[in-house]
């Protein structure tokens, strides 16, 4: 009987490690969501310095997320090994189902919370992408309009440099 109890404790410990990794990932994605909101606000204000700062902070969080995700994969692999689940099939949902009981429920809850915040971040990033594309298109239009108004002579091309005009053929009559 001690083997069965020891195996149950090992599964519970491995599940707790996986749950902790999922919870840490959730916290980082929450931070990423807050920074994304700040970035959108900075874009609305056309505050390029704030946009750059939030992008830098988002990059740091993305690096931490990558590290945590590697650790999550290791924890999932460890739990999967104890539960007889192949590494490539060791998703949190599969492991939670296999672990069952309170241990499985805790892993599933942590996975659900992480999934929800990731989906919110993805929606927010999609909105930010649309906003950035819209802003870029607007700015291109403003630049084209300004070029058109300032280029009344027609001497400047789209790049703002003197554009070669058509070849003019002329002669000068020196005999008369």
CATH H-level, domain 9-150: superfamily: FlgN-like (1.20.58.300)
Q: Show me where the domains of the chain are located.
A: 9-150
Which stretches of the chain are DSSP H helices?
Answer: 2-45, 48-83, 92-99, 101-150
Largest CA-CA distance found in the chain, in angstroms, rounded? 124
For residue 174, the model assigns a pLDDT of 72
Structure tokens at 51: 């946009």
Burial class from Cβ neighbours inside 10 Å (0-12, 13-18, 19+) for residue 133 reads: exposed
- pLDDT tens series, the chain, 176 aa: 445 557 678 899 999 999 999 999 999 999 999 999 999 999 888 888 999 999 999 999 999 999 999 999 999 999 999 999 888 888 898 899 888 889 999 999 999 999 999 999 999 999 989 888 888 888 888 877 777 776 666 555 666 665 566 666 667 677 76
Look at residue 3 in the predicted model and tell me its pLDDT: 55
In this predicted structure, what is the pLDDT of residue 13? 93
Alpha-carbon distance of 132 to 29, in angstroms, equals 21
CB atoms < 10 A from the CB of 172, how many?
Answer: 4
The pLDDT of residue 140 is: 83
pLDDT at position 2: 45
Token pair for 101 = 């009981």
Q: Given this model, what pLDDT does residue 86 score?
A: 87
Q: Is 156 helix (H, G, I), strand (E, B) or coil?
A: strand
Cβ-count burial 136-161 (b if 16+ within 10 Å, e if not): eeeeeeeeeeeeeeeeeeeeeeeeee
pLDDT at 45: 86
Contact 90, 77 (CB under 8 A): yes
Nearest alpha carbon to residue 139 among 41, 48, 40: 48
Task: Give the pLDDT score at 157.
Answer: 61
**pLDDT reported for residue 131:** 83
The predicted structure's pLDDT at residue 1 = 42
């Amino acid at each position: 009987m001690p083997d069965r109890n020891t195996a149950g404790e090992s599964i519970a410990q491995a599940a707790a490690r996986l749950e902790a990794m999922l919870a840490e990932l959730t916290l980082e994605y929450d931070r990423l969501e807050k920074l994304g909101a700040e970035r959108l606000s900075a874009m609305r204000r056309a505050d390029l310095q704030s946009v750059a700062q939030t992008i830098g902070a988002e990059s740091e969080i993305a690096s931490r997320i990558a590290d945590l995700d590697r650790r999550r994969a290791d924890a999932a692999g460890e739990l999967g090994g104890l539960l007889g689940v192949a590494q490539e099939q060791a998703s949190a949902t599969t492991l939670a189902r296999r672990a069952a009981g309170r241990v499985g429920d805790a892993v599933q809850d942590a996975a659900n919370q992480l999934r929800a915040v990731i989906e919110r971040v993805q929606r927010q990033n999609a909105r930010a992408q649309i906003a950035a594309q819209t802003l870029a298109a607007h700015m291109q239009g403003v630049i084209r309009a300004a070029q058109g108004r300032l280029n009344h002579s027609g001497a400047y091309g789209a790049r703002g440099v003197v554009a070669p005009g058509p070849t003019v053929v002329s002669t000068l009559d020196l005999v008369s």
